[in-house]
Amino acid sequence: MTIETLFLDAGGVLVFPNWTRVSGALARHGVDASAAALAQAEPRAKRRLDLGDTIRSTTDHERGWLYFNLILEEAGITITPATDAGLSELREYHGQENLWELVPEDVAPTLARLRSLGPKLVVVSNANGRLRHLFARLGLADRFDVLFDSFEEGVEKPDPRLFRIALERSGGRPETTMHVGDLYHVDVVGARAAGLHAVLLDSAGLYEGYDCPRIRTFAELPELLERRG
C-alpha cells in the first residue's frame, strides 16, 4: 500500500547533537573528548539505552542525559565531576536553543526527494518545547507540513497517543502512514501500537535480526518508499 503520510523523528534522523559544541563544553572543564570520537561512540551508546525496561521506566528527559554519559563511556572517558559540569553547561544551552543542531548533508536533498514522491511530511519528536525554534533556526520548518513536539502535547513516544494526535491533526490514516525513527523501543514499538508502519534508522547496523525494516542512512528512505509502490 502506498504511504500517504510520513512521520519522521527529529533527533537521530534529521538532526544530531552538535558534537563540536559538546567537545568544547567538556574541554572548558578539562575533559579531552574530540567531536569525532563522540560521534563515533554515539550509536553504541544509543543501542545500550534502547532497552524495553529502560524506555518504560524513564522519561525522554531522563534518558537524554543518561545518553550523554553512555557516549562518554563508549568513548573511553570516565564520568567525573568535570564531565558532569560540562554536561550541565550543555543542558543549559539545550534548554534555550536545543543542542540537536547538526543537520547531516543528506537531509535536505532527501527531504526534497521525499516531497516529490507525494506523502505529507510530518515530524513527530520527543522534544523539549524548543523544536519549532530549532527547526526555524536551521531552516527546516518550511520543509514539513506539521511539527509535533512531545513537550507541547504533554505525551511522548512510545505512548501511542502522540502518534494518534499526529494522525488526527495531519489527516493521516494509520494504514497509509509510516514512522521512521532511530530507537526501536521508542519509535518502532510506539508507532506499531498506534497501527502505523515503522522503519528503524540503524546507522551502525546494531539491530540485526530485529523484526522491522531497517535503513542505514536517511538517504535510503525514498528508495524504500518507491519499492512499496
pLDDT tens per residue across span 70-106 = 999 999 999 999 999 999 999 999 999 999 999 999 9
CATH architecture type of domain 5-14+102-228: 3-Layer(aba) Sandwich (3.40)
pLDDT at 120 over 70: yes
Per-residue pLDDT of 126-144, as tens digits, reads: 999 999 999 999 999 999 9
How distant, in Å, are the alpha carbons of 22, 87, 99, 187 from that of 90?
Answer: 7, 5, 7, 25
Where in the chain are the domains?
5-14+102-228, 19-97
Residue 228 — very low, low, confident or very high, per pLDDT cuts 50/70/90?
A: confident
pLDDT surpassing 90 at residue 65 = no
Q: What is the mean pLDDT of the chain?
A: 96
Q: How confident is the model at residue 207 (pLDDT cuts 50, 70, 90)?
A: very high
Q: What is the mean pLDDT of residues 171-187?
A: 98
Q: What is the pLDDT, as a whole number, of residue 229? A: 64
Count of other CB atoms within 10 angstroms of residue 170: 21
Q: What is the mean pLDDT of residues 52-77?
A: 94
Q: Rounded distance, CA 75 to CA 102, Å?
A: 20
Residue 196 has pLDDT above 80, yes or no: yes
The answer, yes or no, to whether residue 151 has pLDDT greater than 70, is: yes
Q: Could you give the CA distance from residue 79 to residue 127 in angstroms, rounded to a whole number?
A: 25
pLDDT of the residue at 60: 92
pTM: 0.96
C-alpha cell at 32: 579531552
